[in-house]
Structure 1
Amino acid sequence: MSTQTHQQITPQLRQWIVEQAQAGHSAESVLQSMLASGWQEEVAIEAMESTLRDHLETKAAAEGLPPSVPVPDPKLDDSPLYVDTGDRRVHVLQNMYNPRVVVFGNLLSDEECDELIALARPRMARSLTVATKTGGEEVNEDRTSNGMFFQRGENDLVRRIEARLARLVHWPEENGEGLQVLHYRPGAEYKPHYDYFDPKEPGTPTILKRGGQRVGTLIMYLGEPEKGGGTTFPDVHLEVFPKRGHGVFFSYDRAHPSTKTLHGGAPVVVGEKWIATKWLRERRFE
């Protein structure tokens, strides 16, 4: 006969959890206090996760922030050194939670980098940016690279890479925009910007009809310059160097600077930089 009782997550318990968080106590210490007081572990974890999630959303709404949404995310809770993507063993080189930035090694092979460049080179043109005032595209003086887009699943190479990325960050392939390849010569750069679409701009509703908001970005380095060309995150003073075959992933759960995902492509100083970029949407991208 079981003596286990059903424990209720009461308003008083939720208030106590919020007070502990506001006092600066770690999640682990709060959990241990609950367990020592007789709370079942699964109930304690659920109480903490749901309470803190609701508290943060309430606080964000009070500050006028847009609501958060689910985002792609690599499963790194156990601090793995490697991630098996099915066809490749990807290295985890750096993991940051605020902003959510993960640097991967061995994401692409040398052969895949060369093939992407070779397929993209004949189709390169001046890079455009999304025009949030109209919903179209435009030349932007902040972005001085050349680029092109592959259609999603356009060829065997693209399909293989897209499937790998979907497994890596646990996000449906159909929620991704087409893979973009960019080429930066000496002096070329992309000044700091956000990848999400500004909800206040008049063209944003038109853009969102194709798949919702952007929620994550993967940048893959295909060819490395001798100097310069790093991916910078000015809000957190981070620079990811453009090492061939490596990649950097970051996500943003609300369209707001509070995500600290301001980023840019530093000017290339010597040599040339080739990258492939994959933007991920909330829903299927049409």
Structure 2
Amino acid sequence: MHPRITISPELREWILATTRAGHGVPDVLRLMKENGYDPRQSRSIVAEVLKLPLAALHASTGKVAPQGLRTTHPQAPQVTVDGHTIEIPISVEAPALRVLEGLLTAQECAELIRLAQPRLQRALTVDTDGRNQVDDRRTSEGMFFELNELPLIGRIEHRLASLLGIPANHGEGLQILHYLPGQAYEPHFDWFDPQQPGFGKITAVGGQRIASVVMYLNTPEQGGGTAFPEIGLTVTARRGAAVYFAYETGDPSSLHAGLPVLRGEKWIATKWLRERPYRQPKQS
């Protein structure tokens, strides 16, 4: 776990504001060094503020590639999956990232929102012991669909499986999230930190996460994009579009954040993919 250190409110807010503005962690560490902070202390401070695995902040840390199945990254500017046309206007190689325009239809977006609304609860994160927890970094409401729970869910899961070349049973249940003005998800990684005590428990049901797909179910009036501060990219939230990105354990380039909604609201559907078939835990 990160060492407990005293961090002034001003420094904490500066680190958050700087990463939200699109600056990567190396930029933050460089600026802190220029202002007299000890580099080792700076890494601990940034890890504490952003709730990041400390190992990801060490440039010498090698990536540990999962041993299971890997996704296939779409390469063409346009692909057709089961008669459904998807445009790919933006491609990044590190991390492997694709913006997918038209992944969902307007009708599918509206239906996902309608089905999710009565089941929304405060969105949770996974703590260091592998348990779900309320986290101030994530202020949205959300819910999960079970794998293939409805024909609509199964159709979307099959579309993603065909597009990315990984079986649908490697995916976690589709999560729907709802953000109101001011709500956000601070910079974080989707892969699980092997150094945390809950790693074995959380990866026993499908292995490590290897990729994420964030699908936008509406277009907020302002704000609400997905920022990748390590590579200086922000993906605009547009109804029907999505951002797909793959990663390896320890990969710092996959750091990302759900930016605050400034006006209106934001609805997204998130799909996390695992290296092995995923056994969804029973919902209580």
Aligned partner of residue 92 in structure 1, secondary structure: strand
Say how many residue pairs are matched.
219
Distance apart, 1:94 and its partner CA = 0.6
Aligned partner of residue 114 in structure 2, secondary structure: helix
Aligned partner of residue 217 in structure 2, secondary structure: strand
* Correspondence for 1:174: 169
Structure 2: segments with no counterpart, 5+ residues: 1-59, 280-284
Distance apart, 1:64 and its partner CA = 4.9
Deviation sequence 1:149-192 (CA, Å, 0-9, x none): 00000000000000000111111100000000000000000000
- The 2-side partners of 1:103 and 1:148 are apart by 24
Larger CA deviation: 82-91 vs 233-242: 82-91
* Correspondence for 1:104: 100
Structure 1: segments with no counterpart, 5+ residues: 1-62
Contact 1:73 1:251 in 2 (8 A): no
Deviation sequence 1:44-72 (CA, Å, 0-9, x none): xxxxxxxxxxxxxxxxxxx5524313531
* Correspondence for 1:137: 132
Match of 2:113 among 112, 117, 129: 117
- Percentage of pairs with the same residue: 44
Contact 2:140 2:179 in 1 (8 A): yes
* Correspondence for 1:276: 269
Q: Partner amino acid for 2:143?
A: M
Pair 1:217 & 2:216 matched: no
The alignment's C-alpha RMSD in Å is: 1.3
What is the TM-score normalised by the length of structure 2? 0.75
* Correspondence for 2:223: 228
- The 1-side partners of 2:207 and 2:235 are apart by 28
Aligned partner of residue 161 in structure 2, secondary structure: helix
Distance apart, 1:136 and its partner CA = 1.4
Q: Partner amino acid for 1:276?
A: A
* Correspondence for 1:197: 192
- The 1-side partners of 2:152 and 2:241 are apart by 17
Contact 1:225 1:268 in 2 (8 A): yes
Work out which of the two has the higher radius of gyration on C-alpha atoms and give 1 or 2.
1
Contact 2:63 2:251 in 1 (8 A): no
* Correspondence for 1:82: 78
- The 1-side partners of 2:174 and 2:125 are apart by 15
Pair 1:266 & 2:266 matched: no
Contact 1:188 1:267 in 2 (8 A): yes
Superposed structure 1 runs of 4+ greater than 2 Å apart: 63-67
What is the TM-score normalised by the length of structure 1? 0.74
* Correspondence for 1:251: 246
- The 2-side partners of 1:261 and 1:71 are apart by 16
CA 1:66 to 1:81, structure 2 compared with 1: closer, same or farther past 3 Å? closer
- The 2-side partners of 1:238 and 1:232 are apart by 6
Identify the structure with bigger relative contact order (alpha carbons < 8 Å, sequence gap 6+): 2
Contact 2:139 2:179 in 1 (8 A): yes
